[in-house]
Amino acid sequence: MPALTPPEARPVITPRNIRFAFDESLPADWHSGEPGITVFYDALSLTFPEGERFFIESVRNFAAQIDDPRLKADVQAFTSQESIHSREHAAYNALMAARGIPVEKFERMIRAGTRFVSRHVPKKALLAATCAYEHYTALFAELLLGDRRLLADAHPFYRDIWRWHAMEEEEHKAVAFDVYQTAARDRLSYIRRVIAMLIVTLDFWITNRGLIVWLMIKRRQFWNLRAWGRVFWHLWVSPGVWRRVMAGVFGYMAPDFHPWKREVRPEVLAWRSFYRQNAKRVPMSASIFDTAGA
């Protein structure tokens, strides 16, 4: 079994109690003026409020079994970060609702689903699923922070919220995994973790793509072939978001995998330093790309 994150390798997990001012002056097609690319990110946001609550609950189920004081502190910080993410993406989604998207119907469905799973699935399996979801969010965060192309043509307000969220996901990407290693370790730990990743991957493929189609229909863009072409290009060609995220999933299957074994890109380290120095000024439209002239 892989070891826990060494204390010296753990970044300081810093909850940033940011409130983003969502209002109807913000553009609906906030990414590149394109509905297709926009709804990819909007679809992710729709899953976050309930998803973050699910992650918190699955980690808290094992909080009493953690003795390491640093890991205890990390769990508390993880919970705070995820709670704030849930709140801000609820506001994000409320703006979609104000524009005619029946967000509440999807929220009721996902809430019912997570409650059913929480009641009927063993707690260790729930935590294994959270580890898998957190690996996906960490891979996505690496791309958002490390490749300026993902958000280069996005509205500055949305660049702020996605980069802020990505930075905090990168900070706490090993917390659920370390809790799993500490409190859910048994002879089935590895196979449970792999099975959870396979199920989570299937869930991502079905849910995200289904939501993209649903949002395109609700926005009356389903027959916009140019929009479909642009989002396909964004996801699979350049910058190739899903292609590159999926490439990072295979390493998770290694028996000795640990989130901090992945090399942290210099751009991500620069963002970590940038947000640490400017925590009280977030949100902001400045970036390491601007200040470094990259």
Confidence at residue 265, expressed as pLDDT on a 0 to 100 scale: 80
Q: What are phi and psi of 152, to 5 degrees?
A: -60, -35
Q: Is 227 helix (H, G, I), strand (E, B) or coil?
A: helix
Q: Is 10 contained in some domain?
A: no
Mean pLDDT taken over the chain: 90
Q: Widest CA span of the chain, in angstroms? A: 56
Structural domain count, the chain:
1
* pLDDT for position 79: 97
Distance CA 55, CA 78 (A): 10
Residue 2 lies in a domain: no
Report DSSP state, residue 254. S
At residue 166, the pLDDT reads: 94
Give me the pLDDT at residue 262, please: 85
Q: What is the structure's pLDDT at 4?
A: 53
Q: Domain for residue 260, yes or no?
A: yes
Enumerate residue ranges in the chain where pLDDT < 50: 1, 291-294
Does any domain span residue 94? Answer: yes
Considering just the CA atoms, what is the radius of gyration of the chain in Å? 19
Q: How far apart are the C-alpha atoms of 128 and 59, rounded to whole Å?
A: 10
The CA distance from 20 to 106, in Å, is: 22
Q: What is the pTM of this model?
A: 0.91
Inter-residue contact 81 to 172 (CB < 8 Å): yes
Tell me whether residue 230 is in a domain: yes
Would residue 125 count as lying in a domain?
yes
Q: What is the pLDDT of residue 224?
A: 97
Domain assignment of residue 12, yes or no: no
Domain that holds residue 196: 28-292
Domain assignment of residue 8, yes or no: no
